[in-house]
Structure 1
Amino acid sequence: MRFKLRQMEVFRAVMLTGSMNGAAKLLFVSQPAISRLIAHTELSLGLQLFERDKGKLTPTPEAHRLFQEVGPLFEEALRIDELARDLAERPEGALTLCSSPSLALNFVPPVIAQYLELYPNVRLKYHTTLLADMAHELLGRKAELAISVLPIDHPNLVVEPLATGEMVCILPQGHPLASQPAVGLAELAQHRLILYSRNIPFGQLVAAAFQRANVSWTSAVDIVRAELACALVRVGAGVAIVDQFSVGEQGWPGVVTRPLRESIPLSLSLVRSRFERPSRQVQRFMRLIKEHARTGPALAGRPRAAQCILP
């Protein structure tokens, strides 16, 4: 192997910090040691990785190409290192979860709190990910279990339906439409609209609903996260359509939530890799979140709108 792991580590450190001195500080070694190893690496590979001019380093095109490949390798190495530490320090193991961003605001946190109360010795890692990246996260072992707010179809994933929900409209407190029990798309279209961008799945769902209802609409503000819409609605910037899971049971101060007359349904799923048998930790979490979907509190907008669809 001409490009050894230690050489990759030093090369990556130089690329990240932009200098030999920065790499030395990052790796807790001397600057001359870094310089010698980079020079040896260039010699053994037969490649010039950096152009040197008055003490400044400029990566060559070859260095940039190598860096693209080295990055994912070290992410995997760090994952393995974390796994080894977890095995040594936590006999109960670890659990790595990801979810759609909207579920991270209200739906998933109570389940995590319950899980940690029941299994305090398990190390839990949780992050959000977009629908387009979910398969990569699971098949790349960056997460063991995902909770998706939209359908996902992949031959190498196991998808279990969890619950259903819907889009809702949010209005500033005191808005004329807030006095109604439900609001139609045609009524919303008469006001300044804050909507999900049509570049993301939520935005495509909302656009399709307007088209089905034969309602013309124009978005005044495009957003990609529901909390941005809530913040804008609260200060009177407009009215919005968001997923009910982002609003949650309590809603936002100064914001009124109402169901839409034209339903825009959502389908929550539990997703995992077909190639990995679910660990004990994953099975425990799945049981808890299924129970939460069955018996959890009603969400804002319509009582019990998020209905469990599991037997």
Structure 2
Amino acid sequence: MNARQLEVFRTIMQTGSVTDAAKLLNVSQPTVSKILHHMEDQLGLRLFRRIRGRLHPTPQAEMLFPDADRVFRDLGALRLLAEELRAGSGGVLRIAASSSLAAAIVPRAIASFRAANPRVKIVSHLLPGAETAEMVRSHQVDLGLCLSPQDLHTLTMRSLGQVEMICIFPRGHRLSALTHVTPPDLADETFISFNSLNHFGGLLDEAFLQYDETRRVDIQATMSIVAAVQVAQGTGVAIVDRFAMLMAPENVDWRPFRPVLSLPINLLLSETLPWSRFRNSMIEHLQKAVEKYLEN
């Protein structure tokens, strides 16, 4: 099974269609069919059966897919390593981070890192926490940052510190007269918040219950920085991690939220990724960026 066959098999498994696989791979449908048939002949296995116009994987295909997917991802990591080697002493460093960490902390760390390592190319991704962890696990990035717990299979997690959640609102709002904001203070407000299935939403549900309040979500957001932009439009108020204020518009103000909700700043590393001096250096710059913020 060669790399092209792996790619075709993986794409058909994901789409369930030769036509859709051909579109994603930017090749003709006959080309995909030919590669698939050649692969089946080489393996001596029937991988798909056509039922009502759709391809359905056989039990043998289902058993092969997890390993085929892993090998395909490893090939992708190998290509990225080759890119680093072509870059010579400069190298490439890849980072994934969630929400406000990607917008507030990572840029500061990159600026100081690049001052010391001007020839290193940086690739930065903003992703949800779960996707950040998967990028680290599959070696598509060298390290990741998130504020939520993740499945640590093949991953190592370090804490770079903690950040509190705060209440944000338009400047001049009545909440600015308070020293801190509690759930009862938000009873009559349009509340921009997270789904209860979201880690942050679950924490807020528990915090509201401490005051015998039920959290109501009028406008659902998926990221703190998105909520901050909504607040800036005067749409409502929100509870977000404090890093979001670093990127919030000037017309947004904040107060501490009670009960205190502290979020760990998680650094995610792969246990199977080879050592890299650039990665270790970036970790130091990320730690300093976090510490500088927490001093304020």
Shorter-chain TM band:
0.7 to 0.9
Q: Name 2:46's counterpart in structure 1.
A: 47
Q: Name 2:256's counterpart in structure 1.
A: 259
Matches within 5 A, 1:229-248: 229-248=227-246
Partner secondary structure for residue 289 of structure 1:
helix
Q: Name 1:84's counterpart in structure 2.
A: 82
Return closer, same or farther for 1:232/1:77 CA change in 2, 3 Å cut-off: same
Hey, what's the Cα distance between the residues in 2 that align with 1:41 and 1:155?
32
Q: Name 1:142's counterpart in structure 2.
A: 140
CA contact (8 A) 2:49 2:57 kept: no
Structure 1: runs of 5+ lacking an equivalent: 297-305
Matches within 5 A, 1:159-174: 159-174=157-172
CA contact (8 A) 2:10 2:69 kept: yes
Return closer, same or farther for 1:101/1:90 CA change in 2, 3 Å cut-off: farther
Hey, what's the Cα distance between the residues in 1 that align with 2:24 and 2:138?
31
Deviation at 1:203, TM superposition (A): 0.9
Deviation at 1:103, TM superposition (A): 0.7
Deviation at 1:257, TM superposition (A): 2.0
Hey, what's the Cα distance between the residues in 1 that align with 2:40 and 2:271?
42
Return closer, same or farther for 1:8/1:269 CA change in 2, 3 Å cut-off: closer
State the superposition RMSD in angstroms.
Answer: 3.6
Instruction: Tell me the number of residue pairs that the alignment of Structure 1 and Structure 2 aligns.
Output: 291
Partner secondary structure for residue 174 of structure 1:
coil
Structure 2: runs of 5+ lacking an equivalent: none
Return closer, same or farther for 1:235/1:24 CA change in 2, 3 Å cut-off: closer
Hey, what's the Cα distance between the residues in 1 that align with 2:152 and 2:8?
37
CA-to-aligned-CA distance 1:112-138 (integer Å, 9 cap, x gap): 122223212222222244444555443
Matched to 1:251, the amino acid is A
CA contact (8 A) 1:14 1:23 kept: no
Q: Name 2:291's counterpart in structure 1.
A: 294
CA-to-aligned-CA distance 1:53-87 (integer Å, 9 cap, x gap): 9xxx8534349848954455333212211211321
Q: Name 2:220's counterpart in structure 1.
A: 222
Q: Name 1:301's counterpart in structure 2.
A: none
TM-score, structure 1 as length reference:
0.76
Deviation at 1:201, TM superposition (A): 0.9
CA contact (8 A) 2:129 2:148 kept: yes
Matched to 2:226, the amino acid is L
Q: Name 1:282's counterpart in structure 2.
A: 279
Q: Name 2:57's counterpart in structure 1.
A: 61
- Larger radius of gyration, structure 1 or 2? 1
Partner secondary structure for residue 103 of structure 1:
helix
Return closer, same or farther for 1:254/1:47 CA change in 2, 3 Å cut-off: same
Matched to 1:221, the amino acid is I
Matched to 1:47, the amino acid is R
Identity %: 25
Deviation at 1:152, TM superposition (A): 5.5
Hey, what's the Cα distance between the residues in 2 that align with 1:236 and 1:10?
49
Deviation at 1:183, TM superposition (A): 2.3
Return closer, same or farther for 1:152/1:220 CA change in 2, 3 Å cut-off: same
Return closer, same or farther for 1:253/1:283 CA change in 2, 3 Å cut-off: same
Return closer, same or farther for 1:42/1:52 CA change in 2, 3 Å cut-off: farther
